[in-house]
Amino acid sequence: MAAPERPAQAPASPTDPAPASPSGGEEAAARGGGLVRSLTPRQTTMIGLGSALGTGLFLGSGSAISAAGPAVIVSYAIGAVLVAIIAVLLGEMSAAHPVQGSFGAVAHRYLGPWAGFVTRWTYWFSAVVVIGTEVVASALYLRWWWPGVPMSAAILAVAAVVLAVNVINVKSFGTTEFWLSTIKVTALCAFILCAAFLVLFGLPDTGATGFAHLTDDGGFVPQGVKSIWIAMSVVMFAYAGFEVVAIASAEATDPQRSIRTAMRQLAWRLSVFYVLAITLVVALIPWRRLAAGDGSVEASPFVRVFSDVGVPAAATLTNLVVLIAAVSAANAHLYGASRLLHSLGDDGLAPAPLARLTARGVPANALAASTLGIAAAALLAFYDVGGIFGILMSIALFAVLLVWLLILASYIAFRRHRDAHPEEFTGFTVPGGSRLALVAGAGVLAVAATAIEVPDMRQAAGIGLAFTAVLLGCYALTTLRRSRRS
């Protein structure tokens, strides 16, 4: 294991973001060439929610429900615990090291350069795939209203909006993402309240459903206890995206406060939103009907709930919500992908132009490169190449699990160093953090082990391992080339 490269509170270096100055963050960036610290704690929290609350929840989780029936609630609860652990541990590391490259830079410092290289490139590729799928989904939602609009035009329109928000400056991104996430969270809260009313009280012409649907069709665990584990392969991917909060620490006005607040709030909010929403959905609608849903707007449980409480144009309202959810997720993932790619360029592990910043402190070249997923997804959607698209998503799924494992391994090494040198650090610590990291690591490995039973996970493991081997080969070549130059 590599020794830490410098103390945690070392003076600023090329890998640390330039601090904001009283005269204005953008001017400071122009002079110092660093990222701009302008994200507030509230914006940081909403960025995490924006990337983690995607279209999967709003359109239902048919695959997971199909695998486990009502017991999928347990799968989501376990997933919430695992994500909460990873989030708070990542928050501790990010507060101690609010640097560009985030958890990738921390992995570089505590596990070795190879870990930083693999972590950042793996996360970047995963985010790029997600960006492409979210933009294509957004285009489909637009075409739900205007079916005559060509798919390519709809994709370009959404991509232009997302890219424009990111390219202006980080403050513009933070403000936009805050309001998009606020709308999304408000809609989810409205859904939960309406669904709870229908479950507990019903309507004048419709009795309360109660919780009978949780047990009246084969029992609470109709597919057997093993199905709870199998459903985790779908459930855990739904939680992915909260890592963007850590990436944002390099541009937060008060990194320690922002990250501590954001990660703690993110952990409990995601837990409540996912577990409560899924519980109410399964209580309202028989699980076999949910499992048979095709993921369309009309099949969404949101449409059913809002229709039952008399909301006019429920499908139109739901389509608007899922459109905002998709644009928000694409927006947040593009931000995270561009920042990690910029840090790779800054460290000499990616082409040098990717390290360049605009006068406003925006990594424009890294942003442009991170839109490759949009172009690829557009081509795949245009030619309807479903097989290749599934392969890309398999790599993305494996990448999320691998990044989480590297984050947890980095935390154990970080915590060992922090406990040995407490004088170097300030900020909060998580009691029993190392033990929690081991528990979470075992949980992530258990999710990866579903490859034994789930074909999609088996494909993800095979392709993902090959992809990781390619990355390690690229790192070896990069290291060899740099050693020859020196």
Contact in structure between 75 and 446 (CB atoms under 8 Å)? no
Give the separation between CA 275 and CA 169, rounded to whole angstroms.
35
- For residues 309 and 312, give the distance between their C-alpha atoms in angstroms, rounded to a whole number: 9
Q: What is the pLDDT of residue 136?
A: 81
pLDDT digits (tens, 9 = 90+) for 212-239: 989 988 899 999 999 999 999 888 877 8
pLDDT along the chain (486 residues), means of 10: 39 36 36 63 77 66 84 93 92 87 91 92 88 83 86 87 87 85 86 87 82 90 93 84 82 77 78 88 85 62 68 77 86 89 88 87 89 80 63 75 95 94 84 95 93 83 86 89 77
Q: What is the pLDDT of residue 16?
A: 40
Q: What is the pTM of this model?
A: 0.85
pLDDT of amino acid 188: 84
What is the chain's mean pLDDT, rounded? 81
Question: In 3D, which of 340, 359, 46, 374 has the Cα closest to residue 188?
Answer: 46
pLDDT on residue 442: 96
Tokens of 402: 């691998």
Percent of the chain with pLDDT over 70: 84
Domain 36-481 CATH assignment equals 3.40.50.850: no
CA–CA distance, 173 with 164 (Å, rounded to integer): 9
What's the pLDDT score for residue 329? 86
Assign 3-class secondary structure to the chain: CCCCCCCCCCCCCCCCCCCCCCCCHHHHHHHHCCCCCCECHHHHHHHHHHHHCCHHHHCCCHHHHHHHHHHHHHHHHHHHHHHHHHHHHHHHHHHHCCCCCHHHHHHHHHCCHHHHHHHHHHHHHHHHHHHHHHHHHHHHHHHHHCCCCCHHHHHHHHHHHHHHHHHHCHHHHHHHHHHHHHHHHHHHHHHHHHHHHHHHCCECCECCCCCHHHCCCCCCCCCCCHHHHHHHHHHHHHHCCCCHHHHHHHHECCHHHHHHHHHHHHHHHHHHHHHHHHHHHHHHCCHHHHHCCCCCCCCCHHHHHHHHCCCCCHHHHHHHHHHHHHHHHHHHHHHHHHHHHHHHHHCCCCCHHHHCCCCCCCCHHHHHHCCHHHHHHHHHHHHCCHHHHHHHHHHHHHHHHHHHHHHHHHHHHHHHHHHHCHHHCCCCCCCCHHHHHHHHHHHHHHHHHHHHCCHHHHHHHHHHHHHHHHHHHHHHHHHHHHHHHC
pLDDT at residue 388, as a whole number: 60
pLDDT digits (tens, 9 = 90+) for 260-291: 777 877 778 888 888 998 999 889 888 888 77
